[in-house]
Structure 1
């Protein structure tokens, strides 16, 4: 929904609402040997090192119209990376009308707006099961903004920036601002689901569940890939190299891993 100038609320001072997007992505892989596991973790560390993550977050900053004040980044031993970007403030009255529009947002390009007292962070966590051969890569991204624009505008780009089997997405509006009469506003835009900001072509790829607390302005969406091709989850070999019974066993382990992450609980068969 795009607001006309007549529909926009005149505020008392700056818009103090904080909008926070937390995006957790998971990449699942099966590594048969210790050597394959170590190679997978090395591949992930190279694919999502601090320099590349900085480029991704810098693009997010550009898309939501902010300006970088400071970047802190670090690659860790034995694995993992972190990046934190502090972005600058700007005048609210220059924010565009389309800041309130429900849409997936661009994959590239700009959404012109100004933000205030905002930050963007990412942390990566390569992990593995000690016995089952499962290796999992998790990236946690947080985009926190003040003002009129929502960080959900960057969600489409973030989804396309990572190889994602399972996504867990949280969006929350915190605090309050005031109109010119002093009346408190605890949210300044209409939203009923994070799915409004995920393109249709992406939604067709995933099973999705919403758990929303509307009265608290808390929105939660979980996504799991619908189609499963074992070749996409084997690191270092192809499924035709494995006997059928091993293919079935590996498939069961991988699907169990994804379902446990998706539902947030251990599954016992």
Structure 2
């Protein structure tokens, strides 16, 4: 244990961003499906995930206190970072500070299904902060750090803080939608819906990529090797898979 970190007053609001991404691929043989999973497993190993999360930590002005990371057999990886947020010294009668108990985590789940010839990579990321810092500022960076066909996001604010007169504050920044924190050029690539519970300070957004460039979804296969009818079948299969993941239910 190191030295205790001095806190100056408290902002007890806890803000958690849970962020799930899915990347879908077509691999026509069992061998190619296994190779795809191995490729993804290497692309998003614990070392690279650690780099992504430490960059994110720098973006929100926090300090890394501890890193725990692990690669798994046969596939997958996890990284957890304990962070210490920046502290503001009191000025006059106003006291603002951050509780120095925050975290950033990521877990990956590559998998494939031989009968459908589809392989899927899923990453679950969570950024938890206390105080004034909102993890929503990291959204564009996170989306850009992964190949994302489907994205689901939950943002929840818990607890309360007080103003100088003692009035409870259950929200310290304006928000009507997670989409407000995503760059317009990113939103243009996705169909997006919100499911929000404003009374509970709970915000949920789902995104699914609009256009499928088939070559980007083929593993070890050139699109021009496939006859037109086969291309259409693969595109339909990919779209059905995405719609079910996006909807969170079995449709087809």
Within 5 Å, give how 1:199-238 maps onto structure 2: 199-238=183-222
Runs of at least 5 residues in structure 2 that lack an aligned partner in the other structure = 1-7, 91-96
Secondary structure of 1:160's aligned partner? helix
User: Among 124, 137, 143, which residue is 1:153 paired with?
Assistant: 137
Give, in whole Å, the separation in 1 of the partners of 2:66 and 2:100.
14
Report the counterpart of residue 69 of structure 2 in structure 1.
73
Report the CA distance between 1:238 and its aligned residue: 1.4
Report the counterpart of residue 99 of structure 1 in structure 2.
none
User: Among 234, 237, 241, which residue is 1:253 paired with?
Assistant: 237
Within 5 Å, give how 1:49-198 maps onto structure 2: 49-93=45-89, 116-198=100-182
Count, aligned residues: 239
Q: Could you tell me the TM-score, scaled by structure 1's length?
A: 0.85
Give, in whole Å, the separation in 2 of the partners of 1:90 and 1:79.
36
Q: CA RMSD in A?
A: 1.6
Does the CA-based 8 Å contact 1:92-1:148 persist in structure 2? Answer: no
Runs of at least 5 residues in structure 1 that lack an aligned partner in the other structure = 1-11, 95-112
Is structure 2 residue 44 aligned with structure 1 residue 48?
A: yes
Spell out, residue by residue over 1:191-225, the C-alpha distance to the aligned partner (whole angstroms, 9 max, x if none): 00000100011111111000011111001111111
Secondary structure of 2:101's aligned partner? strand
Report the CA distance between 1:23 and its aligned residue: 0.8
Secondary structure of 2:53's aligned partner? helix
Report the counterpart of residue 265 of structure 1 in structure 2.
249
Is structure 2 residue 12 aligned with structure 1 residue 16?
A: yes
Give, in whole Å, the separation in 2 of the partners of 1:55 and 1:89.
18
Q: Could you tell me the TM-score, scaled by structure 2's length?
A: 0.91
Q: Which segments of structure 1 move beyond 6 Å, counting only runs of 4 or more?
A: none
